[in-house]
Amino acid sequence: MTETYEQLLENNKEKIYRICKIYAAPPLEPQDLFQEVIFAIWKSLPTFKGNSIVDTWIYRITLNICLRSKQKSDKTYNKTLQLESIQFIPVEVPIENNQQEKYNALTSCISQLNNENKSIIILYLEEVKYKKIAEITGLTKNHIAIKMKRIKNILLDCITNKI
């Protein structure tokens, strides 16, 4: 089980963190959410029967944890325990202003969407097919297609105004 879990984390940690960054809001940091997600994955691993593809399962857990965290107010949220075995090491990357600007505009526009639309567009950007998005969100494939048209218009308008 340890090897499976290790492989799972190695293959998915970046994508989990990408999603956590979108949903994290004070008092929660993306790192806190990330810890909650990987804890939830660890807890769910024994019950994962392989009926769904690993990716779908990971996305479902990640989005559930992230959405649940949004419902918790400052007053009711108890910070998760800090896990010493996870380190977030700052990396110095050459800053391409144009790329950074685009990324900031994109995340800012995604943040303005409602939770359901936010989940859908994140999965789309992660290159998840409509059929899988439907499985993860519990909506139908047709419903996803209709929603995507609207979300794309909203997002495109927003990004165009920001760049």
- Contacts (CB under 8 A) with other proteins, residues 114-153: 125-127, 152
Provide the minimum distance between the beta carbon of 83 and other proteins in the complex, in angstroms, as a whole number.
Answer: 5
Q: How far is the CB of 138 from other proteins (least distance, A)?
A: 21
**Is 88 near other proteins (CB under 8 A)?**
yes
Contact in structure between 67 and 122 (CB atoms under 8 Å) = no
How far is residue 52's CA from residue 133's CA, in Å, rounded to a whole number? 12
Q: Which of 47, 49, 74, 87 binds other proteins (CB under 8 A)?
A: 87
Q: Which of 27, 44, 53, 100 binds other proteins (CB under 8 A)?
A: 100
Collect all residues with Cβ–Cβ distance below 8 Å to 21 and sequence separation of at least 6: 30, 107
- Exposure string for 72-89, b = 16+ CB within 10 A, e = fewer: eeeeeeeeeeeeeeeeee
Q: Work out the angle at residue 37's Cα, subtended by the Cα atoms of residues 32 and 40, and round it to the nearest 5 degrees.
A: 125
Q: How far is the CB of 52 from other proteins (least distance, A)?
A: 23
User: Is the alpha carbon torsion for 21, 92, 126, 161 positive or negative?
Assistant: positive
Residues forming the site for other proteins (CB under 8 A):
2, 5-6, 9, 13-14, 17-18, 34, 38-39, 42, 71-73, 75-78, 80-81, 83-91, 93, 95-96, 99-100, 102-103, 106, 125-127, 152, 155-156, 159
